[in-house]
Amino acid sequence: MGDGRPSAWFAPLGLLLATLLGCAAEGAAPRIETAAEVVLGEPLGLRITGLAAGERYTVVSERTDQYDRMWRSRAVFRANSVGLIDPACQAPEDGNYDAVDELGLLWSARMPEPPGDDWQPPEPRDFSEIRFSLRRDGVELTDRVVRQWVRPPGVTSETWGEGLVAELFLPTARQDEPLPGLVFLGGSGGGKGWASRMAGLVAGQGFAAVAMAYFNAEGLPEHLAQVPIEPILSAFDQLASHPSVDAERLGVVGYSKGAELALVVASRRPDVRSVVAIAPGSAVFQGFKPPRFPTLSSWSLGGEDLAFVANAYDEKFFETYDGMYLWYRTLAQHEAVVAAAIPVEDIAGDILLLSGVEDRIWPSTYMSEQIVARLYLAEFGHVVQHFAFPVAGHGIAAPPGEPTTSVADRLGGTAAGNARAREQGWRAIREFLSASLG
């Protein structure tokens, strides 16, 4: 002990620590460790072992997405003292992102060759493939391919008809107890693309989830104007009567204009016990019917327009086409906003609101706070939560694990801010639905 050398009992302790930390034995080849298959929104467990301690390595991520587009990102790490790179614990020294983030290589990716304006998306696959490669001094040392499922393998679906453009997703392995039921409503793009992605993922968590289109699909209105809400009300009737569904545990999840619609419907359905509104509107607003954009409501009931706030066009808007300027002018019409405000206090269940403070599409944080204020004044008796993400925009309505670079460019916020909002928002949605519907 007195000769300056470590005592013998340190040797097995060192071996134990190396094993626990994933350190490979001396001379072992570098190895990329991660799950072979994950569902979108789940962690990858990515780390790299068998490296030379203190040396720099480049990790490259190449994603082939559902539409066969290539996304690429890179990060340069320095292996720690036991020859390990773990993005969940280490920040890169260089690359596409600069903070500790297990999913940084995924959200920071960009397309080296974006498709042209005439690109037509192919029929999407149910998964993306992500190839991770490890390089040193320009030489590739090893790689690993991960399949990331957008639609989990353990989910089945059935198409609904009878005037509804909807698809019900159910978990394949389920117990005898009936499931809580959810209806998903997407945004101003129409169709049921976003709703199908989200419904499939949530069904994998033990829900009966309906993806529903309400316009811009066969048999439905072409434009988002005077869209009847009766089909959504009917969808809840059909969902409640399904043998796999517990009619006492129904909820709705909407995004953007779909969040506006979700709040409208929930205020008229006392059996809706849970509402998730992502980037919502606080009132009913004017619809979109190009090319003349007549002054019509977005929604109708019984053939009559729901009371709505008309767009406050002026000369400056037509000179600049600044959408946020138009929205703030529109919301400044206080009497019209009060008259068309959604009666959220009539909702008979819990409400979760998610918004990005730097939303470039419409001021969803401001309108979420209008909703919270209305509920507070009405002494609302259910749970109300609002998560406002400070450096995120309109593109927060997805689980984490996909690129957010183009989302930030188009919809506001930063790529990192939107990625963090997706991570925290996805967790909040899952926890909220679990607590609200069980």
Question: Of 24, 20, 108, which Cα lies nearest the Cα of 59?
Answer: 108
Q: Which residue type occupies 102?
A: E
pLDDT at 193: 92
pLDDT at 438: 81
Mean pLDDT across 108-125: 91
The answer, yes or no, to whether the previous bond of 294 is cis (omega within 30 of 0) is no
pLDDT at 163: 82
Residue 290: CB partners within 8 Å, gap ≥ 6?
223
Reported as a single tens digit per residue, the pLDDT across 419-437 is 999 999 999 999 999 999 9
Reported as a single tens digit per residue, the pLDDT across 341-399 is 999 999 999 999 999 999 999 999 999 999 999 999 999 999 999 999 999 999 999 99
Per-residue pLDDT at 214 exceeds 70: yes
pLDDT at 121: 86
Per-residue pLDDT at 27 exceeds 60: no
Residue 96: CB partners within 8 Å, gap ≥ 6?
73, 74, 75, 104, 105, 108, 109, 110
Cβ–Cβ < 8 Å for 64, 44: no
Q: What is the mean pLDDT of the chain?
A: 92
Per-residue pLDDT at 194 exceeds 60: yes
**Counting beta carbons within 10 angstroms of the beta carbon of residue 31, is it exposed (0 to 12), middle (13 to 18) or buried (19 or more)?**
middle
407 token code pair = 């989302």
Per-residue pLDDT at 205 exceeds 50: yes
Mean pLDDT across 265-279: 97
Q: How confident is the model at residue 291 (pLDDT cuts 50, 70, 90)?
A: confident
Please report, for the chain, the start and end positions of each structural domain, with discontinuous segments joined by +. 24-149, 155-437
Reported as a single tens digit per residue, the pLDDT across 8-24 is 333 344 444 444 444 34
Mean pLDDT across 221-240: 95
pLDDT at 340: 98
Mean pLDDT across 297-322: 96
Question: Of 80, 72, 122, which Cα lies nearest the Cα of 100?
Answer: 80
Spatial strand order in the sheet of 155-160: 155-160, 165-171, 208-213, 179-185, 245-255, 272-278, 350-356, 384-389
Mean pLDDT across 142-150: 97
Out of 2.60.40.2240, 3.30.930.10, 2.40.30.130, 2.60.40.420, which CATH number does the structure's domain 24-149 have?
2.60.40.2240
The b/e string for 119-142 (b: 16+ C-beta within 10 A; e otherwise) is eeeeebbebbebebbbbeeeeebe
Cβ–Cβ < 8 Å for 312, 333: yes
Per-residue pLDDT at 175 exceeds 90: no
pTM, two decimal places: 0.91
382 token code pair = 């259910």
| Integer Cα distance of 313 and 302 in angstroms | 29
Q: Which residue type occupies 234?
A: S
Per-residue pLDDT at 7 exceeds 50: no
Question: Of 58, 214, 204, which Cα lies nearest the Cα of 137?
Answer: 58
Cα maximum dimension of the chain? 94
* CATH class of segment(s) 155-437: alpha beta
| Residues forming a β-bridge with 168 | 158, 210
Cβ–Cβ < 8 Å for 347, 327: no
Residue 111: left if φ>0, alpha if ψ -120 to 50, beta else—which one? Answer: beta
Reported as a single tens digit per residue, the pLDDT across 70-96 is 999 999 999 999 999 999 999 999 999
pLDDT at 254: 98
Residue 328: left if φ>0, alpha if ψ -120 to 50, beta else—which one? Answer: alpha
Reported as a single tens digit per residue, the pLDDT across 100-110 is 999 999 999 99
**What is the radius of gyration, based on Cα positions, of the chain?**
25
